[in-house]
Each structure stands twice: as C-alpha cells, then as structure tokens.
C-alpha cells in the first residue's frame, strides 16, 4: 500500500510505500488497547459475547484485516459471509456459535451520518429523534465511615433521576453534610468531589432523622442534587457542574484505577462496614454491662468481657496508614460477641419492659 499526504507544507508532500505486515506491526499494540473497552462495554451491559447477535463495524479503520481479526477474537464472532435462518453457509455447514461480524455498512458514511444527525438534533432541526447519552462515571454521596454510596450508576441513560433516604450515625446530630462524589472507587477519598452542602434538622437520637437525597441529571447533563428533611419537608436544591462533560482520558484513568484496585477497595469496604457494626456492638455491650452488671453472674460476665476484648484487639490491629484491617477476623469476633450477649440483650429487654409497665402503673 502507499501512504500519501500531499502538501503537508507548500513545498513538501509525504509519500511512503508499506506492506500490510509493516502496517500491522506498527498498529498492533494500539489496536490491542481497545480490547479492555470492549470487555468493559459487555460488563456494563451485563452481557456476554454469546448473548450478542451481531457486532457491527463502523469507522474507517475497521477496513483493516487486523482490526476485524481482533474484534472476531474478542467477541467470539463466527467468521462466515452468508447466513440463512440460523444455518451457516460454507465449507463446514454448521450452526454458528458466536455473533455475526457485520461489515455490511460503509464505515465512513456511518460515522458521517451519525455526526450529521447529532448536529441536526443540537440545532433543533430534528424533534422526533434522540441520540441517548449516558453517565460516564457513577454518582453518589459520602456516607459515615468514608465510603461512597452510589445513587446513579455508571452508564445510566440521561436524563435520569434517582434517590435514597439516609439517617444519622451520631446522637443529637444537628445537620447532615451532603458530599457529592463521582467515580468508581469504594472510598470517598479516591473519587472526585463535585461539591458539598449541609441540611439542618431537629436534633434527635441517631437513626431518627431521615433525609431524602435525590440526584437528577437533565437533558443537558447538568446534575441537580436535592436534600429534604422528611419530617419537616424543608429542602435544599444545589446545581452541580455537568455530570457528563468529563475528559475521556480522566474517565479512562478512573476506570482503570477501579479495576486495578478492585480487590483492595472491596476489602477496605468490608473492613469499614464491619468496623462500624463492631463499634456499635461494643458500645451497646459496654452500656448493657454498666446497667445490668450487678445482675450478671461472674462466669458469664467474664465470657462477655473476653468476647469484648477479642473484638477490640482486632480493631486495634488496624493498619494506621491504610486504615484497613482483617474483615474476616473482625466479623468472626463480632459474631462471637453477638452470640454471647444474647442473654444480656434479653435481660435489658426485660428491664425496659418493667420500666414501661411501672411508668403506666400496671405493676407496683
């Protein structure tokens, strides 16, 4: 083949003859990079290659035999030229097992046509047609413990609206910080911060206040975040920056980091969730011992204290730099504490019922 680039400058034109082998050798690594994107697209769609009917090739570079071979390999495409019904026509005469590699479209015209349609939509010419956009990364808020709670998942079709209800983790908390995040990592600090604001509400014991948080992305890709005190109806609406106008390279970097750190991130989430639950159990147990200590026999109290120490030892072994520990050990120790404190929980329930009945004058 001959590569010709005429008049790169008024005095110079470039021309170079090259064999197919030379061209494929130069481009192989670049084309191979698309494999990850293809597999990610399947994963995002929750599909496997065998679930596809066709893989349609568009774009000038899909004329290259190397591109077609790689696509056929990635998606397990059946290589044949004609199909009638479900029967492959060719030398082997058998049914195909993979999607059809469709090269029937003009690769250049397909791209040009899509760009023309989008331009006409943006100019207001087409009213009956819509090219759907999607969120490039997940959107959510930071929750207690520094985790990201996803509200709108990656690749959600725009416009979109979604929300959840949240509560407090601390007694007498006067407000809640809404920290809006974008990204694919489990911990808030590893994602992008889009903004922060607070909503005030009446002080109450933890778990009582309820705040509804709603994310809405409009047709222009602008994110609107609503936070509402469910009890009073008081609400705050904040407009964030565009949720879709994100640099492709930055999106790719975020996705690659999420894949690279997937196991570490999952372990960190498991540790943080187990740590929060263990902290609540330890605090409740300490409070129960303080209230009912005199009514517990020495042997049982010793068993409870030993189970408490076992949980606290695992918590104390947390890595101070990474802020993670062994979630399996912590869950095991917490389960043992839950088991041994069932008797204590029953005693606390009896005392609470007695106090309620006395308050109502039903018992002396």
pLDDT digits (tens, 9 = 90+) for 86-117: 545 555 545 556 888 888 889 999 989 888 88
Peptide bond between residue 221 and the one before it cis (omega within 30 degrees of 0): no
Beta-carbon-side half-sphere exposure of residue 32 (alpha carbons within 13 Å): 6
The C-alpha atoms of residue 99 and residue 80 are separated, in whole angstroms, by 11
Task: Look at residue 242 in the predicted model and tell me its pLDDT.
Answer: 76
Radius of gyration of the chain (CA): 30
Q: Which two tokens stand for residue 42?
A: 């399947």
Q: Are strands 147-152 and 100-102 parallel, antiparallel or unpaired?
A: unpaired
Task: Look at residue 82 in the predicted model and tell me its pLDDT.
Answer: 46
Q: Which two tokens stand for residue 79?
A: 């290589």
Question: Which of 127, 223, 128 lies closest to 181, judged by CA?
Answer: 223
Coil, strand or helix at 127:
coil
Task: Look at residue 93 in the predicted model and tell me its pLDDT.
Answer: 47
CA distances in angstroms from 66 to 6, 37, 41, 100, 221, listed in the order given = 26, 17, 21, 17, 37
Q: What is the DSSP letter of 345?
A: H
Identify the bridge partners of residue 167 per DSSP, sorted by sequence position: 210
The C-alpha atoms of residue 11 and residue 84 are separated, in whole angstroms, by 55
Q: Are strands 54-56 and 100-102 parallel, antiparallel or unpaired?
A: parallel
Please report where in the chains the tokens 């929300």 appear, as a residue: 163
Beta-carbon-side half-sphere exposure of residue 275 (alpha carbons within 13 Å): 21
Give me the residues of the chain with pLDDT under 50, please: 80-84, 87, 93
Identify the bridge partners of residue 239 per DSSP, sorted by sequence position: 224
Coil, strand or helix at 197:
strand
Q: In what helix (H) or strand (E) does residue 44 lie, and over which residues does it extend?
A: helix 34-44
> Cα 87 from chain centroid?
41
């Amino acid at each position: 083949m001959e590569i010709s680039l005429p008049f790169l400058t008024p005095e110079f034109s470039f021309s170079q003859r090259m064999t197919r082998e030379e061209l494929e050798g130069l481009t192989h690594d670049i084309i191979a990079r698309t494999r990850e994107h293809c597999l990610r697209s399947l994963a995002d769609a929750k599909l496997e290659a065998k679930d596809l009917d066709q893989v349609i090739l568009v774009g000038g570079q899909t004329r290259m035999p190397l591109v077609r071979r790689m696509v056929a390999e990635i998606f397990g495409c059946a290589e044949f030229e004609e199909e009638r019904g479900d029967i492959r026509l060719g030398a082997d005469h058998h049914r195909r097992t993979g999607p059809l590699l469709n090269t029937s479209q003009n690769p250049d015209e397909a791209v040009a046509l899509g760009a023309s349609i989008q331009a006409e939509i943006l100019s207001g010419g087409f009213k009956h047609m819509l090219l759907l956009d999607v969120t490039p990364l997940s959107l959510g808020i930071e929750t207690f413990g520094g985790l990201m709670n996803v509200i709108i998942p990656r690749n959600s079709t725009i416009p979109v609206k979604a929300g959840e209800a949240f509560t407090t983790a601390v007694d007498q908390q006067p407000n809640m910080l809404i920290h809006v995040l974008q990204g694919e990592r489990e911990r808030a600090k590893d994602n992008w911060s889009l903004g922060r604001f607070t909503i005030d509400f009446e002080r109450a014991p933890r778990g009582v206040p309820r705040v509804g948080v709603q994310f809405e992305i409009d047709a222009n890709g602008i994110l609107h975040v609503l936070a509402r005190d469910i009890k009073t109806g008081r609400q705050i609406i904040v407009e964030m920056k565009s949720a879709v106008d994100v640099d492709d390279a930055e999106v790719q970097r975020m996705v690659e980091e999420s894949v690279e750190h997937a196991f570490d991130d999952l372990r960190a989430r498991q540790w943080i969730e187990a740590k929060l639950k263990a902290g609540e159990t330890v605090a409740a147990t300490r409070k129960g011992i303080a209230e009912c200590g005199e009514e517990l026999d020495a042997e049982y109290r010793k068993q409870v204290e030993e189970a408490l120490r076992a949980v606290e030892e695992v918590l104390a072994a947390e890595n101070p730099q990474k802020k993670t520990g062994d979630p399996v050990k912590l869950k095991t120790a917490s389960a043992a504490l839950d088991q041994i404190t069932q008797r204590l929980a029953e005693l606390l329930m009896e005392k609470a019922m007695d106090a309620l009945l006395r308050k109502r004058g039903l018992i002396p």
